[in-house]
């Protein structure tokens, strides 16, 4: 069996996440089934799929918020939400960057919240916290606005601040759910650059959901197309273009050996099937 295609440079790093035969139900309906996925340290993975295809559900299952109906999730050798995974996982959602107007908090204060976890809250010295917060502010490039109120920031800067909070918590594996929504092209590009830099220079691992196919393809090493189960998992350059994606359905689930692109079976739509995707491609 060939090793799975896991991006250009990451075939030799250790797996941090191993999902086997995962099924998750919500509201009595199976929304994910037979999901097998291995993520290695340092990867930048783009997770795409139509609305309601289970992307956020997959992230919530990895975080341990939703429990599997079937299958296993092994995160750093432990179950999600166990003591040993605490603080190692960061979650950034679009909603997380939208602060209620009446909350007055500066960038520094928000990022400092990331250091409040049970591991270090009582035992670490304040100076260590301060260093971590400063380092996180620097990593996300918000030094100039560190003492500004979050409400005065642009959407892109707010998104960076939320990523900064995850970094201050020492998160090694960052899950982002639609972080590019509502930010302009320039902010989007610089956010993608930042994420890329976090992978390469800080050894972070990124799993990012986005509908912005052009943007995600430009940055991710590896792409996953999810529609209840994984229909494509491979290096970004092998990802089918949008037209092909929209015109094709029923790609055989990726199990074991099927990571190899040559083994995908693409089945053309029947005449009555309307291809649907809400993914944007520039």
Ligand X SMILES: Nc1ncnc2c1ncn2[C@@H]1O[C@H](COP(=O)(O)OP(=O)(O)OP(=O)(O)O)[C@@H](O)[C@H]1O
Residues within the interface to ligand X (CB under 6 A): 26-27, 31, 49, 51-57
CB of 55 to Mg ion, least distance (A): 5
120 binds, among Mg ion, ligand X, none (CB under 5 to 8 A by kind): none
* Closer residue to Mg ion (CB): 55 or 158: 55
- Residue 31 binds which entry of Mg ion, ligand X, none, CB below 5-8 Å type-dependent: ligand X
Establish if 56 lies at the interface with Mg ion (CB under 5 A).
Answer: yes
Least CB distance to ligand X at residue 213 (A):
13
57 versus 229: smaller Cβ distance to ligand X:
57
Residue 28 or 100: the one with the smaller Cβ distance to ligand X is 28
Long-range contacts of the stretch 93-98 (C-beta < 8 A, 24+)? 93/176, 93/177, 93/178, 93/179, 94/159, 94/177, 94/178, 94/179, 94/181, 94/182, 96/162, 97/155, 97/158, 97/159, 97/161, 97/162, 97/179, 98/158
Using only the alpha carbons of the chain, give its radius of gyration: 19
Least Cβ distance, residue 211 to ligand X (angstroms): 7
Residue 198: exposure state from Cβ atoms within 10 A (0-12, 13-18, ≥19)? buried
Q: Which is nearer to ligand X, 149 or 178 (CB)?
A: 178
Which of residues 97 and 145 has its CB atom nearest to Mg ion in the complex? 97
Q: Minimum distance between the CB of residue 59 and ligand X, rounded to whole angstroms?
A: 8
7 binds, among Mg ion, ligand X, none (CB under 5 to 8 A by kind): none
Give 215's contacts (C-beta < 8 A, 6+ positions apart): 180, 188, 189, 192
Q: Which residues contact 79 (CB under 8 A, 6 or more apart)?
A: 64, 73, 85
Binding residues for Mg ion (CB under 5 A): 55-56
């Amino acid at each position: 069996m060939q090793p799975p295609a896991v991006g250009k440079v990451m075939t030799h790093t250790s797996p941090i996440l191993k999902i086997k035969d995962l099924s998750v139900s919500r509201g009595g309906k199976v929304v994910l089934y037979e999901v097998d996925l291995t993520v290695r340290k340092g990867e930048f993975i783009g997770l795409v799929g139509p609305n309601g295809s289970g992307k956020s559900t997959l992230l919530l299952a990895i975080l341990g918020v939703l429990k599997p109906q079937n299958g296993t999730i092994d995160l750093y050798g432990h179950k999600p939400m166990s003591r040993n995974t605490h603080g190692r996982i960061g979650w950034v959602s679009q909603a997380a960057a939208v602060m209620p107007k009446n909350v007055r908090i500066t960038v520094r204060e928000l990022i400092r919240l990331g250091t409040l976890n049970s591991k270090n809250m009582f035992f670490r010295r304040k100076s260590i916290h301060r260093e971590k917060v400063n380092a996180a502010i620097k990593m996300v490039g918000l030094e100039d606005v560190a003492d500004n109120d979050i409400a005065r920031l642009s959407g892109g800067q707010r998104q960076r601040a939320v990523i900064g909070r995850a970094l201050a918590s020492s998160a090694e594996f960052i899950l982002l759910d639609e972080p590019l929504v509502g930010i302009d092209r320039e902010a989007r590009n610089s956010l993608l650059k930042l994420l890329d830099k976090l992978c390469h220079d800080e050894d972070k691992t990124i799993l990012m959901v986005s509908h912005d196919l052009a943007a995600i393809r430009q940055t991710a090493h590896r792409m996953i197309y999810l529609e209840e189960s994984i229909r494509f998992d491979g290096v970004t350059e092998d990802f089918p273009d949008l037209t092909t994606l929209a015109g094709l359905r029923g790609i055989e689930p990726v199990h074991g050996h099927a990571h190899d692109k040559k083994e995908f079976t693409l089945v053309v739509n029947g005449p009555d099937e309307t291809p649907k995707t809400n993914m944007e491609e520039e």
